[in-house]
A and B are shown apart, each in its own frame.
Chain A
C-alpha cells in the first residue's frame, strides 16, 4: 500500500521550490519514484491519428508524432487504464517497446486533450487503486502546469500584440479591481510606468484627468452622460480635443459569461483633424472673398447705371446712342443679378440658418410663380401648361426657398426651349411622395453635362435660345435649397426631346388639406 500523502507532500514541496518548465519534470520524477516505474510521458492528442509527446522521462530529444490508436483503445469508460501484460503495438513501440506493464490517465480539458502514461519494464506489485490515485493527482498537476504555461504564453502574445499598435488601449474589468492597459495607454493616462495591470482606481483617475484636460469638455460631458445611463453604450468616433492633439475615442462593452467590462481605444487623429480644420478654414476664406468681391463689384456697376441714366439729360441722343445705352443698362442689370446670385448662394452654403418652414397651399404658390413667367413665355411663343393634384395639397416647406427653386427651374425651361414649344409644370403623387415636375421640349442634357449639372459655375453645352443670360449658379442653388427643404431633385433628359426636373417631397412634408385649412394657408 502506497501512501499518497507522501506524494502530495512532495508535490507541495515542488510547487514552492521549482519554477517554470522544470516543475513538470520534477513532478514526473516524483511519480516515477513513487510508483517504482521506468518511464513517464505526457502526450497531447492533436487529432485522431496524431499525438505528440510533450514530456518524456526517457529522452530530452523531441519525439516524432505517432498514431494514438492503441491509447484510445486502452482508454475505456474511465479515464484510468492499467495493462499487464502489455504489448506495444507499432505506434507505441518507441515509447513502451521495452515495457511489460503500462498505466495511463486520460486528460480531457478543452485546451488540452491527451494522456499521462507510466511504463514499467517489469511488473510491480502496486494495486491499481494506488496507481490510479497517484496518476489522478499527477494529472491535476500536469493540467495546472500546462494551463499556467499557456496563460503566460497568451499574456506574452497579448503584450506583444498590443504593444505594437499605436492606439492606447484600456480594458476595464468590472468583475475585478484591476484593469488592463498597453504601453501607449500608460503614457496617455500618466499611469505607473510598466504596470500593465493597473488598479481600477488608478485607471479611473487617469481617465478623469485626461477628460479634464480636454478643450471640448461640454460636448464630451454630454456623450458621457449617455454612457452613464446606458451600460451598452458604444461610441466609435468620439472626439476629445486637447491643446496638443485630438483623440478619436472608441468604447464598447464586453459582456461574456467569463468577462464583464468595457474596452476603450484612443486613436490619435490630430493630423487628420488639423488638415480638415485647415481645409474648412481655407474654404471659409474663399467664400468670404467671393462675398467681398461681389459686393465691391456692385458699387461700380451701380455708378455706371447711374451715369447711363443721366446721359439723356445732357442733350438729345440719336437712336443708335439710345439703343446702346439701353443695351448697356441691360448688361449692368445682368451683372447685378449675377452678383446677387453669387451672394445668395454663398450665404446659402456658408450659413447654417434653418429655413422657416410652415404649411403652404401648394397649387396657389405654384400658380403665382407660373403667372410671373407668362410674359416671358409669350415672347417666345411658349405655352406653360399646369397640371394639379385632384385634391389641394398642404406642403410643409419654406415658401421663399421653394419660389426661388421653381423660379430657377421654370426660367431655365423657358430659356433653353426653342420658340413655339410647350413647358409643363405638373404636381403629382408618386406613392406617398409628392413631386413637382418642370418639363420642357428643349435640346435635352447630354450625359456628359448631366454629371456636372448641379455644380457651381458650370456652363453646359445647351445655349439659351433668345440671348438670355446665365450665371451658372441656378441649378446649384436649386439643389442646395431643395435639400435644405428636405426634398430631393431628379433629372430625366433625352437629347433633342426634352428635360424633366422633378422635385420630390417625402411623405412627412405633405398632406391633403381640408378646405378651411387650405384657405387659411393660401400664399
Chain B
C-alpha cells in the first residue's frame, strides 16, 4: 500500500506548476484546516495536502505507539510522501506542530525543501528557566489527566480557548469536531509527544529561508516563542498578524494568505 493512502494525500492545484506547496496541519485538525489558505494559491502552485497519522478515523489504523513516540516519526512520514510523489524543492507551510515537524524533515533532507512557512509554531511548549514556552508542567499534567478522564468533555473546554474568536462560535465548534474525530487514546499519545517535545537545538540547524507567522493573541504560543525562534534560526523572519487564537489559518485565512504571498515571490 502506498503512503499516499496512509497519509490520505491529496494533490491539487496547478499540476504542471514549477513550485509545490505542501501544507502540514497541526494537532486537533486535519488537512481541511488549510482549505481557505490552499485555495488562494491553487491557480499558480501545485498543492499537496495530507493528514498526519492519527489525526482522524482514516489514518488512525496506521497509528502505533512504537513508531510515533517522537516528532521525528511524523517528519519521516512527510519525507515518505515526498519520496513517493518524487517531489523536490517544495515549500512547506506548516501550522503549529505540523510546522515543527516540517522543519525536522527539512533538516534531515535539506535539498527536498526550498522554503518553510511556520504558522504559530513552537520548538518547546513548556517553560524552561529563561525560556518562556507558555505552559508549566503542572498545567500540562492536568491537561493530560483531563484528556484521560473524559476526552470529549476535555475537547469541549480546550477547543474554544485555543480557537478564541468567541464572536464566531462555529469556529470553535468546527475545531471540537476535528479534535473529536481523533481516537482518545491516540490523541492523548500524540498530545504527550507534542507537549513534551523540545526542538530548540534542532531549529538552529534549519538553513532554509523561513517565514514565521504568528498571531498576536495566541493562548498556546506566547510572543516570546516567536522572537526566540527568529533569534535562534539562521534564516528566519518573524511577522505578526493581527489575529486572535492559535489557528489563524482557519480564523483569519485572508491575513495568513497576505503574509505568505510576498514571501513566496521573494
Say whether B80 faces chain A, with CB atoms less than 8 Å apart. Answer: yes
Residues of A within 8 A of B67 (CB): 46, 49-50, 65
Say whether A48 faces chain B, with CB atoms less than 8 Å apart. Answer: yes
Say whether A488 faces chain B, with CB atoms less than 8 Å apart. Answer: no
A144 to chain B, nearest CB (A): 25
Residues of A within 8 A of B72 (CB): 64
Q: Is the CB of B79 within 8 A of A64?
A: no
Q: Contacts A65-B67, A89-B83, A90-B83; is A48 near B1 (CB within 8 Å)?
A: yes
Contact size range, A: 10 to 19
Selected from B3, B70, B108, the residue in CB contact (under 8 A) with A49 is B3
Most buried by B among A46, A49, A67: A49
Give the interface SS of chain B, mostly helix, strand, loop or mixed.
helix
Q: Which residue on chain A has the smallest CB distance to residue B112?
A: A90
Q: Is the CB of A46 within 8 A of B66?
A: yes
Q: Is the CB of B66 within 8 A of A50?
A: yes
Say whether A47 faces chain B, with CB atoms less than 8 Å apart. Answer: yes
Give the interface SS of chain A, mostly helix, strand, loop or mixed.
mixed
Residues of B within 8 A of A47 (CB): 62, 64
Say whether B242 faces chain A, with CB atoms less than 8 Å apart. Answer: no
Say whether B57 faces chain A, with CB atoms less than 8 Å apart. Answer: no
**Count, chain B residues at interface, CB 8 A:** 17
Residues of A within 8 A of B198 (CB): none
Residues of A within 8 A of B66 (CB): 46, 50, 52, 65
Say whether A66 faces chain B, with CB atoms less than 8 Å apart. Answer: yes
B160 to chain A, nearest CB (A): 36
Q: Contacts A49-B3, A64-B70, A67-B80; is A90 near B109 (CB within 8 Å)?
A: yes
CA distance A47 to B64 in the complex (A): 10
Say whether A269 faces chain B, with CB atoms less than 8 Å apart. Answer: no
Say whether B73 faces chain A, with CB atoms less than 8 Å apart. Answer: yes
Q: Is the CB of A49 within 8 A of B109?
A: no
Say whether B46 faces chain A, with CB atoms less than 8 Å apart. Answer: no
Q: Is the CB of B64 within 8 A of A91?
A: no
Q: Is the CB of A90 within 8 A of B6?
A: no
In the complex, per-residue mask of B58-97: 1 if CB is within 8 Å of any chain A CB, else 0: 0000101011001011001101100100000000000000
In the complex, per-residue mask of A21-65: 1 if CB is within 8 Å of any chain B CB, else 0: 000000000000000000000000011111010000000000011
Q: Is the CB of A49 within 8 A of B79?
A: no
Residues of B within 8 A of A65 (CB): 66-67, 73
Q: Which residue on chain B has the smallest CB distance to residue A93?
A: B108
Q: Is the CB of B76 within 8 A of A67?
A: yes
Q: Which residue on chain B has the smallest CB distance to residue A47?
A: B64
CA distance A47 to B66 in the complex (A): 11
Q: Is the CB of B76 within 8 A of A91?
A: yes
Q: Is the CB of A46 within 8 A of B64?
A: yes
Residues of B within 8 A of A64 (CB): 70, 72-73
Q: Is the CB of A49 within 8 A of B83?
A: no
In the complex, per-residue mask of A54-90: 1 if CB is within 8 Å of any chain B CB, else 0: 0000000000111101000000000000000000011
CA distance A66 to B108 in the complex (A): 13
Residues of B within 8 A of A52 (CB): 66
Residues of A within 8 A of B77 (CB): 49
CA distance A52 to B62 in the complex (A): 16
CA distance A67 to B74 in the complex (A): 12
CA distance A47 to B3 in the complex (A): 12
In the complex, per-residue mask of B151-176: 1 if CB is within 8 Å of any chain A CB, else 0: 00000000000000000000000000
A311 to chain B, nearest CB (A): 84
CA distance A46 to B67 in the complex (A): 9
B230 to chain A, nearest CB (A): 29
CB-CB contacts below 8 Å: B28-82 with A: 62, 64, 66-67, 70, 72-73, 76-77, 79-80
Most buried by B among A46, A52, A67, A89: A67
Residues of A within 8 A of B73 (CB): 64-65
Q: Which residue on chain B has the smallest CB distance to residue A94?
A: B108
A485 to chain B, nearest CB (A): 57
A-B contact pairs, 19 of them (CB 8 A): A46-B66, A46-B67, A47-B62, A49-B6, A49-B67, A49-B80, A50-B64, A50-B67, A64-B70, A65-B66, A66-B76, A67-B76, A67-B80, A89-B83, A90-B83, A90-B108, A90-B109, A91-B76, A91-B80
Could you tell me which A residues sit within 8 Å of B by CB distance? Answer: 46-50, 52, 64-67, 69, 89-91
Taking A52-B66, A64-B73 as known contacts, 13 extra A-B pairs with beta carbons closer than 8 A to each other, sorted by chain A number, are: A46-B66, A46-B67, A49-B6, A49-B67, A49-B80, A65-B66, A65-B67, A65-B73, A66-B76, A67-B80, A90-B83, A90-B108, A91-B76
Could you tell me which B residues sit within 8 Å of A by CB distance? Answer: 1, 3, 6, 62, 64, 66-67, 70, 72-73, 76-77, 79-80, 83, 108-109
Report, nearest first, the 7 A-B pairs whose CB atoms are least far apart. A65-B67, A50-B67, A90-B79, A67-B80, A90-B109, A67-B76, A48-B1
